[in-house]
Amino acid sequence: MSEITGKTKLYAIVADPVLQVKTPQNLNRLFEARGIDAVLVPMQVPATRLADWVTAMRGVLNLGGVVVTVPHKTAIARLCDELTPAAAMVGAVNVIRVEPGGRLVGDILDGRGFVAGLRTSGIEPSGQRAYLAGAGGAANAIAFSLAEAGVSALTVHNRTRDKAEEMLVRLRQAYPDISMQVGSPDPTGHDLVVNATSLGMAEGDPYPLDVDRLQPGQTVAEIIMRPEMTPLLVAARDKGCRIQLGLPMLAAQVELMARFMGAL
């Protein structure tokens, strides 16, 4: 990457642990490719120190923004001065723009990154009937962005049914014209099937949905990046479904993050 000088704009990713993050590589490659004098560095901050850290970052005048990941996404949303509609609905933030005077604006780009990743693979969610497993932070962000992208219907399945219902109550307020319902593990009748749970990350996890009901013609998309081929994706491929790995969601987010932080 380019030389860092006193003029270099600073960005950070805040996480704990931080060893595993890939954002420094991804963002710095983007800065380099676009000839932007900026650098993103990892900062490992425990949850107990997050509020102090945010206070201090408001006073770092050459800090342009912060990428936020586990375990801070929810806590940091409450420390921002403004949230985008997606971040407000999800109640979580994965990117912050630092505006002059130290004002912090938070957004969550998981959902838009997911949709942009689909489009990169030639999959247009507009008009599709979508099925979503999960009702946590990532699922909320993806549901919001699928609605924003114009899916015709959205079914949400979650182990804790109440969480799925709560999520749809909020989502219907923003998108009253889309048909939304809480569903079962059976994804039959949907074009786009999305796993937005963490099931599949650990060996021996159960499937997030009933893979025996998958059918050719369906697209099955993952948000899990490691393993690249989750048991769900293996089963979907075996059933003749089109599959979408988790990685493009992250790749698409890199540009969205840089743009939101004002670096591009």
Could you list the active site residues?
73
CA–CA dist 84, 216 (Å, integer): 37
101 binds its own copies, rule: CB under 8 A: no
Nearest to 153 by CA among 172, 134, 173: 172
- Pick from 57, 108, 194, 243 the residue near its own copies by CB under 8 A: 57
Q: Read out DSSP for 198-259?
A: STTSSTTPPPSS-GGG--TT-EEEE---SSSS-HHHHHHHHTT-EEE-SHHHHHHHHHHHHH
Nearest to 118 by CA among 70, 86, 150: 150
- Pick from 34, 37, 60, 160 the residue near its own copies by CB under 8 A: 60
3 binds its own copies, rule: CB under 8 A: yes
169 binds its own copies, rule: CB under 8 A: no
What mask, x for binding its own copies by CB under 8 A, covers residues 210 to 239?
Answer: ------------------------------
Closer residue to its own copies in complex, CB, 62/126: 62
Shortest distance in whole angstroms from residue 60 CB to its own copies:
5
Shortest distance in whole angstroms from residue 253 CB to its own copies:
16
Chain positions 24 to 53 lying near its own copies, rule: CB under 8 A, are 24-25, 28, 39-46, 48-49, 52-53
CA–CA dist 42, 232 (Å, integer): 32
Contact partners, residue 87, CB within 8 Å, separation at least 6: 77, 80, 93, 106, 107, 108
List beta partners, residue 243.
Answer: 220
Residues near its own copies, by CB under 8 A: 1, 3-8, 10, 13, 15-22, 24-25, 28, 39-46, 48-49, 52-53, 55-63
